[in-house]
Amino acid sequence: MKNRRTVFPSILSLLLIFSAILTGNATKGMRRDEKIDTVQALSYTDAELSSVSDGEEREDDGSAPVGSRLLELIFGKKSTEGSTKDIKLCPGGDTFGVKICGSGVTVSKVVTELSAGILKPDDRIVSIDGQRVSTIDEVKRILNSSGGRALSFEILRGKKTFTENIAPRSCGGEYHLGVILSDGASGIGTVTYYDPETFAFGGLGHGISSHDGGEVLKMTRGTVTGVILGGASRGEASKPGELRGVLTDKKLGTLTANTRCGVFGTISPTAISDCDSRTPIPVAKKSEVKAGEATIFSTIKNGNRAEYKIEISDIDYSSDGTKSFRIKVTDDTLIALTGGIVRGMSGSPIIQNGKLVGAVTHVMVANPTEGYGIFIENMLSAAQQGVQPKAA
């Protein structure tokens, strides 16, 4: 069914990353704005983000996130189990902004010992003095009304819950714990695909984490927003580049799932440049992905979506995660613009032999022209599983 609304050329594109962003400060590359001795709220505006993880993070293979069965896709289409022959989707390549709220307040980083060494990264603060907390603002309110007296913290660490007394310290007229807290995340990423009839979409190719290297953030709600791109910083060895941009307040869609293989939901046609003229293409099975030439769609220069050449190698047909095969940028134009793969390109669709085969997910820290891609099958499987109704 054709979109009947007038579609204006979009300056948007979808990735990051995503680590948490803190109040009133834009951050780059989905990194947190770390301020010593402060407890800050998540900021959902003026964010300069592009991937789920900090670019300085190094995984065992030297990469950093850029973030099957096929039964029913989230947009209601059906296909025979294990078959993709009847599925056609429009490849994305447009950037988008994302804002998600988590299911609680999590310690992202300990920056001083004000909490007497009790709080650790990934700890979730369940309650303070018997009052359950789910946002940073609630934590700040309780701390500032404490007068500095010791408070009883209920803390969830892994699967274990325990209680400890912590006395906040006064600094600058407010009381603090000496940690950075997060209650959500926001950033920039790239749309991998969308259904032209329903505008259900998938992007990033990896999940949004609570903080660098942490588990996928449990999302209570999520919003797709506009983003004004401000260019890209070039990637260099040991210093990944990134798309730079500012999130707008305009809501352009809704996220329904944040999974380890991507984010999924529905997006407005206005977030997709020239969506009326795009032609759906077949979805490739894993077995159809071959070593050799391919292309990606990304939005890098002047907010315009463009196609760039890459090569696929080292295919792991057993992969059910985000690193299904290696990719190498061979396009001179893209290398001149960005140095290769940069944060914010996560989710860029990969096309081979006229089929949608996957998405860009990681960049190699040591060499920004190389990275990883995820099978589109893995993303669609995660989308289908992410919207299945839970048992009563």
The answer to whether 346 is a known catalytic residue is yes
Pairing of strands 219-233, 124-128: unpaired
Catalytic residue among 43, 346, 348, 381: 346
For the chain, how many helices (H) and strands (E)? 3, 21
Question: How far is 96 from 111, CA to CA, in rounded Å?
Answer: 32
Closest CA to 246 of 79, 28, 89, 392: 28
- On whether the CB atoms of residues 161 and 126 are closer than 8 A, the answer is yes
- Pick the catalytic residue: 13, 123, 206, 324? 206
Active site residue 331: yes
Report whether 102 contacts 219 (CB < 8 A).
yes
- Cβ contact 250:226 at 8 Å: yes
Q: Pick the catalytic residue: 129, 137, 316, 331?
A: 331
Question: Pairing between strand 349-352 and 160-166?
Answer: unpaired
Contact 266, 199 (CB under 8 A): yes
How far, in Å, CA of 313 to CA of 70, rounded? 24
User: Is 123 designated active site?
Assistant: no
Which residue pairs, CB below 8 angstroms and at least 24 apart, start in 127-131? 127/153, 127/154, 128/152, 128/153, 128/154
Which residues are the active-site residues? Answer: 206, 331, 346
